[in-house]
């Protein structure tokens, strides 16, 4: 059911975006225009001129090759500070190796996660250094980046605590969950630290997302402290708090800015900022549970076949894996689709309301 709802929301959002972009040409033209818009300010006019030349290119294959070439330039512009890029890349690799060796000795079940996270973050830092431009980032960007780093750090800390207290719960012979968790955390950080350009709406988007994430955090902490925590409290991996925050933030930002992209981005950032924080709060509360019991025939059968030393290790492992797949991946994707739909509807309704008032 969750997958069906997610797919429906995303398809609807894609249809809306396709209809909005239909007047801007075919897919290669839209890709070239998008690539040109992501170029640094001093190269943007050149990029727009190059995108305009796509009209003279005939044939789908040459057009796609031209558009992909522009996208490559947007993603990998000429290096300005080669020494800085090499330094960051070398330092990132060294930190990843050192962290992996340390994890192998201190937390034997987490070297794969540490290696994946170190390499991904090192690669992201190298990309940032490659595309770095001088200038101080605005205050909302700095605060949002700090919140994203704090949330990711809290999520990693919670996972490490589980690995230390219940080593069998984090044992993963395939390392798939460890790598997926590292990819999710890196994705959250990159989306917040390098948001797309929204011009005059950037501050509204970032402050709105921060307010939504802060409200979610307060609600989750109150819920965790209000009553006795249990594994059943996490088995859904869904939070009405997140959905409500995304709905409110998206509507307010889209209405105030009259911009569908701004509203959608605010909602997405709210979900992305909240996901690691929610993970950290629930996993921390889960460690405080003292009594674990198997309540379903499926769990009893899986526990008998799994070779876990204790019921607690099995239930925590099951909850952790489910949270990585559903709470950190599928649910934010569903909230992204919700944000797109709400932003499209709100941005469309606001001018009509203004016109009727006149």
Residue 331 CA to residue 300 CA, distance in Å, equals 27
Contacts of 336 (CB under 8 A, 6+ apart): 10, 13, 267, 268, 271
Contact between 320 and 283 under an 8 Å Cβ cutoff? The reply is yes
Q: What is the tally of helices (H) and strands (E) in the chain?
A: 14, 0
3-state percent breakdown (helix, strand, coil) of the chain, nearest 5: 80, 0, 20
Q: Which residue has the higher pLDDT, 209 or 237?
A: 209
Contact, 199 vs 136, CB < 8 A? no
174 vs 351, more confident: 174
350: which 2 tokens? 């606001």
Two structure tokens written together for 341: 């739909």
Answer with the residue of higher pLDDT: 218 or 35: 218
Q: What is the distance between the alpha carbons of residues 298 and 30, in angstroms, rounded to a whole number?
A: 49
Nearest to 272 by CA among 144, 160, 177, 118: 144
Give the contacts of 146 (CB within 8 A, at least 6 positions apart). none
pTM of the model: 0.79
What does the pLDDT read at residue 2? 44
| Mean pLDDT for the stretch of residues 148-153 | 95
Helix (H, G, I), strand (E, B) or coil at 172: coil
**246: pLDDT strictly greater than 80:** yes
Between CA 210 and CA 232 the distance in angstroms is 29
Q: What is the mean pLDDT of residues 86-104?
A: 93
Tell me which residue of 47, 130, 147, 35 sits closest to 92, measured CA to CA.
Answer: 130
Out of 28-32, 181-185, 190-194, 216-220, pick the least confident: 28-32
């Amino acid at each position: 059911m969750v997958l069906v709802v997610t797919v429906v929301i995303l398809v609807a959002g894609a249809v809306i975006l396709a209809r909005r972009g239909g007047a801007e040409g075919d897919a290669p033209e839209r890709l070239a225009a998008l690539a040109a818009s992501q170029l640094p300010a001093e190269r943007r006019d050149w990029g727009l001129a190059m995108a305009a030349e796509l009209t003279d290119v005939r044939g789908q294959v040459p057009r796609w090759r031209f558009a992909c070439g522009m996208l490559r330039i947007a993603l990998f512009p000429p290096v300005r500070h080669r020494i800085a890029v090499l330094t960051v890349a070398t330092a990132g690799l060294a930190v990843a190796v050192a962290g992996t060796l340390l994890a192998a000795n201190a937390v034997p079940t987490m070297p794969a996660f540490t290696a994946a996270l170190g390499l991904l973050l090192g690669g992201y830092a190298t990309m940032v250094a490659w595309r770095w431009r001088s200038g101080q980032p605005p205050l909302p960007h700095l605060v949002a980046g700090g919140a994203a780093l704090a949330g990711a750090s809290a999520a990693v800390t919670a996972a490490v605590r589980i690995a230390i207290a219940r080593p069998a719960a984090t044992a993963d012979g395939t390392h798939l969950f460890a790598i997926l968790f590292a990819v999710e955390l890196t994705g959250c950080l990159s989306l917040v630290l390098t948001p797309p350009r929204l011009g005059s709406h950037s501050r509204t988007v970032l402050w709105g997302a921060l307010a939504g994430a802060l409200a979610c955090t307060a609600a989750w902490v109150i819920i965790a402290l209000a009553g006795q925590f249990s594994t059943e409290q996490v088995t859904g991996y869904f939070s009405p708090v997140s959905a409500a925050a995304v709905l409110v933030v998206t509507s307010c930002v889209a209405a105030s800015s009259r911009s569908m992209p701004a509203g959608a981005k605010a909602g997405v950032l709210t979900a992305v900022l909240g996901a690691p924080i929610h993970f950290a709060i629930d996993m921390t509360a889960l460690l405080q549970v003292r009594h674990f019991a198997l309540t379903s025939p499926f769990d009893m059968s899986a526990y008998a076949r799994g070779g876990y030393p204790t019921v607690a290790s099995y239930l925590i492992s099951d909850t952790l894996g489910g949270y990585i797949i559903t709470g950190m991946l599928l649910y934010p994707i569903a909230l992204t689709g919700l944000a797109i739909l709400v932003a499209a509807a709100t941005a469309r309704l606001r001018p009509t309301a203004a016109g009727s008032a006149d």
